[in-house]
Amino acid sequence: MALVTDSLISLDGGHKARSTLTKSRIRFVIAVLIVLFAGVAGRLVQLGATVTDSSIDGVARDLITATRPTLLDRNGLEMAVDIPAPSLYAEPRRIIDVNEAVEKLRTVMPDLDATWLRQRLTGDKGFVWIRRELTPAIEAKVFELGIPGLDFLTESKRFYPSGQEASHILGAVNIDNQGTMGIEKTMDDRDVGMLQALGLARGNELAPVSLSIDLRVQHAIYEQLSDALTRYQAVAAAGVMMDVTTGEILGLVSLPDFDPNRPDTMDAAYNGLKGQRFNRITYGIYELGSTFKTITFAGALDQGAISLTDQVDASEGVRFGRFTIDDFHGKHRVLSVPEVFKYSSNIGTIKIMEAMGKDNLRAFMTRLGLDQPVPFDVPEMRAPSVPKTFSEVVAATASYGHGLSVSPLHMVRAVAALVNDGVMVTPTLFKRSAEDAAVEGIRVVSPETSARVRYLLRLNALEGSGSRMNLFANGFRVGGKTGTAEKVVGKAYAADKTLAVFASAFPVDKPRYAMVILVDEPHEENAQSGRTAGWNAGEVTGRIVQRVAPMLGISPDFSQSFDDQLVPPELRTVLSAGEAAL
């Protein structure tokens, strides 16, 4: 009995021992599972709390991967497009063997610096660029290397099919596809709401944006200005053409320029006035010489200070203290008002200004917006330099375009207004209807004054300094005014360095386009030619009109009736009286 009892006790003790061991093991397993699950839970919490880096090297990912809208000319031709480009990046913390990765990558891209690459791939960073905008062939070779920690990001690379022909209009983008110049920068800088209204907001599947530029006109201007640099051995040349009714810019060229497809040419593209590749149409300000006489005449005619039938004594120079202002090729006789314009008489223009009054001339310049920057669609703009008040001598020189500096964009807007029945519209690089332009149009002179300005411009083309221009553009009824200004070197004018300008409009019987052409420091083309604007900027204008007028639907017409219709009524009476006397 005692033996049985002992056996039962022993069996019971064994069960208890095994039960205790089992429980201990279960507790251990549970503890391990709790630790594991706690670790997983903690990691999940950590990952959930981690904010994903939304930038790459300080640039937002959505900006890097975003596309830009295709830019089209007014006829639907592509001026700027996005093309997909693979870019190689690395996650250094996932690189297993840095040295091996460096060696393999340099077999595909041997120009990569080994030391730089090794430093780039070392560390615990989550993202570093290795090479941006690769070709598909290079992408395939890198992919075949099979290096852990390397991957590709598809970016949008900007491409400009027309190369540098429209560089100062379009501008450029940086490696992150962000606008740095021109219309590209404007699209990035403008208010988001405005951009969305224009269809320019950044994002995917953007609608194309139509610009006002006509690539046919742009090419013609570019070609003729490039020829001018060689033909006249000039240091620079520029030109702009504007629709006088809508304000649309059809062409804008400034040489020297740059190629937006080649970043190495962009570094010196815009360096204030220290570089040579700045936009001379918008950022350059100049004394535009006798082209300003058009403005003086318009102001005096509009205010009734003179009429076209008046006579002006230009027989002697105008004295200011010990200085005398004379004419370049003076007639030194009494001139009619049209003759003052045709012969570009400084003496006659000063006397017309004096009849108008210096304060009235200054106020008229404000009305034309010549003392403020022109509202425009590129950021490369510069304020004009116009004295706030005019003394007698400053007003005298300003009347023929000296002592004040404005941009060619100022001048083309003013000429457009003076031939457009006196209504001034703001220039734009975006397409705009005549109705929309009319809403913001500002009347600066009367329609009657505008008609007289058109007559004077055409008279100068037929009989004055614009006659060489008319030889090339004959039949397209162009009117214009030359301006040859000595450039300021240091603190004095240099007679051997001039700026030649030609401001024009066509066809003057029904004006549609205004244009300003600038040739900087031209030389004589040959022994029989000269350096004044009629020989260079005027000829360039004529060649451009000859090329583009048929493209724009303007047919040549050599009928005298068009010019006869431009003669103002008061002059017809005078001419009829003269003929009757004969």
- Report CA torsion sign: 428, 430, 431, 434: negative
- 3-class DSSP state for residue 1? coil
DSSP 279: -
Of all residues in the chain, what percent carry a pLDDT higher than 70?
85
Q: Which residue has the tokens 């200085």?
A: 323
Highest mean pLDDT among 111-125, 407-421, 552-566: 407-421
User: Residue 511: inside a domain, yes or no?
Assistant: yes
Each residue's pLDDT tens digit, 492-521:
788 789 999 999 999 999 999 999 999 999
Q: What is the Cα–Cα distance from 225 to 581, expressed in whole angstroms?
A: 49
pLDDT > 70? residue 16: no
- The domain in which residue 379 lies consists of 217-581
Number of domains in the chain: 2
State whether 359 and 491 are in the same domain: yes
Q: Which residue has the tokens 């890097």?
A: 64
User: Residue 300: inside a domain, yes or no?
Assistant: yes
Intra-chain end-to-end CA distance of the chain, in Å:
170
Each residue's pLDDT tens digit, 448-467:
999 999 999 999 999 999 99
Domain boundary among 141, 159, 177: 159
User: Residue 405: inside a domain, yes or no?
Assistant: yes
State whether 404 and 523 are in the same domain: yes
Alpha-carbon distance values, 116 to 70, 95, 130, 131, 534 (Å) = 36, 16, 10, 12, 58
Please give the structure tokens belonging to residue 111.
């120009």
Tell me the mean pLDDT in the region 564-577. 81
User: Residue 221: inside a domain, yes or no?
Assistant: yes
Closest among 352, 284, 283, 280 to 313, alpha carbons compared: 352
Q: Please report the beta strands in 12-149, taking only residues with DSSP state E, as ranges in sequence order.
A: 55-56, 59-60, 71-72, 78-90, 128-131
Residue 50, CB-side half-sphere exposure with 13 Å CA sphere: 8
* From 46-60, 214-228, 239-253, the region with the lowest mean pLDDT: 46-60
User: Residue 46: inside a domain, yes or no?
Assistant: no
DSSP 464: S
State whether 336 and 413 are in the same domain: yes
State whether 288 and 154 are in the same domain: no
pLDDT score of 527:
87
Buried b (16+ CB within 10 A) or exposed e, 94-115: ebeebeebbebbeebeeeeeee
Q: What is the CATH number of the domain that holds 100?
A: 3.90.1310.10
State whether 228 and 331 are in the same domain: yes
* From 51-55, 339-343, 357-361, 506-510, the region with the lowest mean pLDDT: 51-55
pLDDT score of 155:
81
Task: Considering the candidates 156, 212, 290, 465, report the single residue annotated as catalytic.
Answer: 290
pLDDT > 80? residue 268: no
Alpha helices in 128-179 (DSSP H): 136-145, 167-170
Q: What is the dihedral of CA 420, 424, 430, 433, to 10 degrees?
A: -60
- 3-class DSSP state for residue 215? helix
State whether 426 and 558 are in the same domain: yes
State whether 323 and 472 are in the same domain: yes
State whether 225 and 316 are in the same domain: yes
Domain boundary among 143, 159, 175: 159
- Report CA torsion sign: 531, 535, 541, 546: negative
Q: Which residue has the tokens 């620079």?
A: 236
Residues β-bridged to residue 154? 86
Cβ atoms within 10 Å, residue 268 = 14
pLDDT > 60? residue 530: yes
pLDDT > 50? residue 273: no
State whether 115 and 234 are in the same domain: no
- Residue 237, Cβ density class (10 Å: 0-12 exposed, 13-18 middle, ≥19 buried): buried
Closest among 484, 458, 479 to 536, alpha carbons compared: 484
Place 541 in a pLDDT band, splitting at 50, 70 and 90.
Answer: very high
Please give the structure tokens belonging to residue 573.
């009476």
Q: What is the Cα–Cα distance from 364 to 368, expressed in whole angstroms?
A: 6
Q: What is the Cα–Cα distance from 335 to 313, expressed in whole angstroms?
A: 6
Alpha-carbon distance values, 352 to 296, 299, 330, 345, 581 (Å) = 8, 10, 16, 11, 29
- Residue 30, Cβ density class (10 Å: 0-12 exposed, 13-18 middle, ≥19 buried): exposed
Domain boundary among 118, 133, 159: 159
State whether 457 and 342 are in the same domain: yes
State whether 541 and 455 are in the same domain: yes
Q: What is the Cα–Cα distance from 399 to 196, expressed in whole angstroms?
A: 45
Tell me the mean pLDDT in the region 318-338. 89
Q: What is the Cα–Cα distance from 549 to 472, expressed in whole angstroms?
A: 12
Please give the structure tokens belonging to residue 469.
């221009």
User: Residue 561: inside a domain, yes or no?
Assistant: yes
Element (H, E) at 25: helix 2-49
State whether 137 and 221 are in the same domain: no
Contact 400, 347 (CB under 8 A): no
Buried b (16+ CB within 10 A) or exposed e, 420-437: bbbbbbbbbbbbbeeeeb
User: Residue 113: inside a domain, yes or no?
Assistant: yes
Query: What is the C-alpha R_g of the chain?
Result: 37
* From 139-143, 386-390, 438-442, 489-493, the region with the lowest mean pLDDT: 489-493
pLDDT score of 38:
74
Closest among 497, 544, 495 to 517, alpha carbons compared: 544
User: Residue 40: inside a domain, yes or no?
Assistant: no
Alpha-carbon distance values, 22 to 1, 28, 478, 559 (Å) = 32, 10, 109, 118
Q: What is the Cα–Cα distance from 513 to 247, expressed in whole angstroms?
A: 9
Closest among 214, 215, 235, 216 to 225, alpha carbons compared: 235
Tell me the mean pLDDT in the region 398-415. 97
Alpha-carbon distance values, 178 to 5, 79, 167 (Å) = 94, 17, 16
Each residue's pLDDT tens digit, 67-78:
789 999 999 999
Place 196 in a pLDDT band, splitting at 50, 70 and 90.
Answer: very low
Question: For this structure, is 465 an active site residue?
Answer: no
Q: What is the CATH number of the domain that holds 376?
A: 3.40.710.10
